[in-house]
Amino acid sequence: MAKIMIQGTGSSVGKSLIVAALCRIFKQDGYSVCPYKSQNMSLNSYITLDGKEMGRAQVLQAYAAGLEPQVFMNPILLKPTADAKCQVIVNGKVYNNHTAAEYHNLKILFKDMLKEDFLKLESDFDIVVIEGAGSPAEINLRDRDIVNMGMAELVDAPVLIVGDIDKGGVFASLAGTMLLLTEEERKRVKGTIINKFRGDIDLLTPGINMLEEIIKRTCLGVVPYFNLILEDEDGAMMEINKKATAPIDVAVVMLPHMSNFTDADCLKCEEDVSVRFISSKEEFGMPDLLIIPGSKNTIEDLNTIKDSGLEEAILDYSKKGITLGICGGYQMMGKEIGDPLNIESSMESIKGIGLLDTITTIESEKVMTRVEGNVNLPNFKGNIYGYEIHMGKTIVGDDVNSFITINRENGVETNKLDGVFNNSETIFGTYVHGILDSTEFREYLLNKIRTKKSMTQRKSPVYEGFREEELNKLADIVRKALDMNKIYEIMRLK
């Protein structure tokens, strides 16, 4: 089996999309390929068909490789819950909550597991494309590293280092990274990639030549800056839209512990819809749809909404617009959230926004399920699909209506109710992440808005098909930018 590892000079340099691109290129070239990231830190996660949790970046990479996402592609997931503390998920299941220092001491225990699992991949795939995390030059973490050079050494993988030129300082970042590596680590580095370039390549060439002379490594290509509608990693939140750029304005409340903001990504494939993120009442405006997303710390994020003045703006907006709460957002929209076991906070309870007649209690058991069902609206009964990831049980009062009937859970037939909506069908709450990926419901909701705005109704594209087209565009861009013959040579393949 061949392998290649993509590391970066820092977070958000584009490692995840480069890995996705290589997975699609290798697949197009006839190889069976698998993405792999030993440890991912992200609040964006996903539930596999067998009810296990993994990072969303590896989900996109799996699709690029033509595979169903599985947790062996991301065996360790870290989900920050508060400053210097995170929930550790191992092989798709909750391991425990740990401080950064505690987890650093634990990492060495996972090395044997990671090596054993990786050896299984060697017999199942022609190529494994490995992604690092952050930077290999985090020398304070070198002694127990299991995701950058430590992982490369564990599985004997050649390394390419990606630098982001859009932020500036790419030559210093690449040279400085090489400087801080040990001699053995430097031997693993077979080349560099410059990412997110805008401008005249002829002006960049002298700098590339000087860099190659300094670090004694070839630059394998310069990837241009591009705008494709593919799922963002957490770091890309720095570049989110603040203003509406299309007739239908969708606003997403940006929370400090926001999770699965990818729930709104499918809206970007609608030509007349723009998505923006708001964190203050001054940014609120008058959106056509307001989404209150998931949260890894619902109580703290609800406090932020109250302290920022957004609660008052949300209550005022709810009298005129359409509001959708997903997971933690659904919990916040109720009358009260209780946390008697202090799982998320030192507060035992907090008053909710009060948009829905529901009361939620945070519980220690984490619900992780893939679901299918149908919507129970008076004028719409379409199918939906998605997944649930939450710690909490919601009790529904008499002043709301049941939103969704779940009829399959992790592939097993069931009959459960999820979520609620108000009598005027303007306020919706659900635990189902990815509900807007469901073409029928997204089309119904957007056409409801179009009718209100006297716009022509539209058919919504199937998001999965749209994503496939974008992944092929990504592969085309990266294939043209990189010396793929050299990369195959590094992997000892044709």
Measuring CA to CA, which residue among 328, 319, 330, 391 is closest to residue 357?
A: 330
Which of 230, 265, 280 corresponds to the end of one domain?
230
Let me know if residue 472 belongs to a domain. no
Please write the tens of the pLDDT for every residue from 176-216: 999 999 999 999 999 999 999 999 999 999 999 999 999 99
Measuring CA to CA, which residue among 275, 279, 288, 355 is closest to residue 310?
A: 279
Show Cβ contacts of residue 116 under 8 Å, excluding neighbours closer than 6 positions: none
Active site residue ranges: 327, 433
Bridge partners for 370 per DSSP: 387
Lookup: tokens for 265: 């990504």
Count of residues making up the chain: 494
Let me know if residue 466 belongs to a domain. no
Cα dihedral across residues 91, 94, 96, 101: positive or negative:
positive
Q: Are residues 62 and 190 in the same domain?
A: yes
Lookup: tokens for 14: 């584009």
Let me know if residue 235 belongs to a domain. no
Let me know if residue 274 belongs to a domain. yes
Q: Are residues 73 and 156 in the same domain?
A: yes
Q: Are residues 446 and 314 in the same domain?
A: yes
**Strand 336-338 relative to strand 76-82, pairing:** unpaired
CA–CA distance, 451 with 455 (Å, rounded to integer): 6
Q: How many domains does the chain have?
A: 2
Let me know if residue 304 belongs to a domain. yes
- With both helix axes pointing from N to C terminus, report the angle between 201-215 and 170-180 in degrees, rounded to the nearest 10: 10
CATH of residue 156: 3.40.50.300
Q: How many CA atoms lie within 13 A of 156 on its CB side?
A: 5
Let me know if residue 158 belongs to a domain. yes
pTM: 0.92
Q: Are residues 248 and 312 in the same domain?
A: yes
Let me know if residue 190 belongs to a domain. yes
CA–CA distance, 210 with 216 (Å, rounded to integer): 10
Q: Are residues 183 and 259 in the same domain?
A: no
Q: Are residues 275 and 363 in the same domain?
A: yes
Q: Are residues 200 and 284 in the same domain?
A: no
CATH of residue 344: 3.40.50.880
Backbone angles phi, psi at 324, to 5 degrees: -125, 120
Q: Are residues 248 and 226 in the same domain?
A: no
Let me know if residue 358 belongs to a domain. yes
pLDDT tens track of the chain, all 494 residues? 899 999 999 999 999 999 999 999 999 999 999 999 999 999 889 999 999 999 999 999 999 999 999 999 999 999 988 767 899 999 999 999 899 889 988 898 999 999 999 999 988 999 999 999 999 999 999 999 999 999 999 999 999 999 999 999 999 999 999 999 999 999 999 999 999 999 999 999 999 999 999 999 999 999 999 989 888 665 444 445 667 889 999 999 999 999 888 899 999 999 999 999 999 999 999 999 999 999 999 999 999 999 999 999 999 999 999 999 999 999 999 999 999 998 888 889 999 999 999 999 999 899 999 999 999 999 999 999 999 999 999 999 999 999 999 999 999 999 999 999 999 999 999 999 999 999 999 999 999 999 999 999 999 999 999 999 999 999 999 999 999 999 999 999 98
Q: Are residues 262 and 331 in the same domain?
A: yes
Could you list the residue range(s) of the whole structural domain that residue 285 is in? Answer: 241-461
DSSP codes joined into one string, 396-457 = E-SSSEEEEEEEEETTEEEEEEEEEE-TTS-EEEES-BTGGGSHHHHHHHHHHHHHHTTPPP
